[in-house]
Amino acid sequence: MLSKKVEKMINDQMNFEIYSGYIYLAMGAYMDSLDLTGFANWMKVQWQEEFFHAQKMYNYLLERGGRPFLTEVPAPPKDWKSVKAAFEHALEHEQIVTGRINDIMNVAIKENDHATRSFLNWYVDEQVEEEASVDAIIKKLKLMKESGHGMYILDKELGARTFTAPAE
């Protein structure tokens, strides 16, 4: 059985993951509006990943005798100054998510809730990967200074990304 505190924190994070997905979908719409369909594809795959993260928390809450509660999702931004600015926003957002996962982990450790610790380890690893993959794209964008040719190549590369639900 989860403590009320951990149940609330996981619920809040589940809703935040949905919000993350919403931001990525808005970024996808921004990139589609620029006809950068590969960049948009990358964002839309990320949207699916975030919903998977939320779904995993939903299932965990149920498994541990808790209940998922859905809240209002704030509206994401519509536009960004540039493609690079959108990815920089994504990186800042992922750093916030990492901090939030760490906060839940700290409470689980304090409460000797080993099951939640084990559950959250997946998210700790996932955040390392999420931050690194966004950072790698920002580095490429900086290197090419968002030049036409570079953008064309990167758009092609990001267009190949597909969503595969990780094993639960």
Interface residues toward ligand OFO, by CB under 6 A: 17, 20, 50, 53, 94, 97, 130
**DSSP-derived secondary structure letter, 82:** S
Contacts of residue 45, defined as CB under 8 A and 6 or more positions apart, other chains included, come to 161, 162, 163
Pick between residue 20 and residue 41 the one whose CB is nearest to ligand OFO.
20
Residue of minimal CB distance from ligand OFO? 20
Phi-psi domain of 16 (left: phi exceeds 0; alpha: psi -120 through 50; beta: other):
alpha
Pick between residue 31 and residue 127 the one whose CB is nearest to ligand OFO.
127
Pick between residue 58 and residue 151 the one whose CB is nearest to ligand OFO.
58
Alpha helix positions (H), 34-82 = 37-63
Residue 145 CB, nearest distance to ligand OFO (Å)? 27
Pick between residue 37 and residue 48 the one whose CB is nearest to ligand OFO.
48
Residue carrying structure tokens 């990358």? 42
In 10 A of CB 73, how many CB atoms? 13
Residue 130 CB, nearest distance to ligand OFO (Å)? 5
In 10 A of CB 62, how many CB atoms? 11
In 10 A of CB 107, how many CB atoms? 16
Pick between residue 103 and residue 110 the one whose CB is nearest to ligand OFO.
103
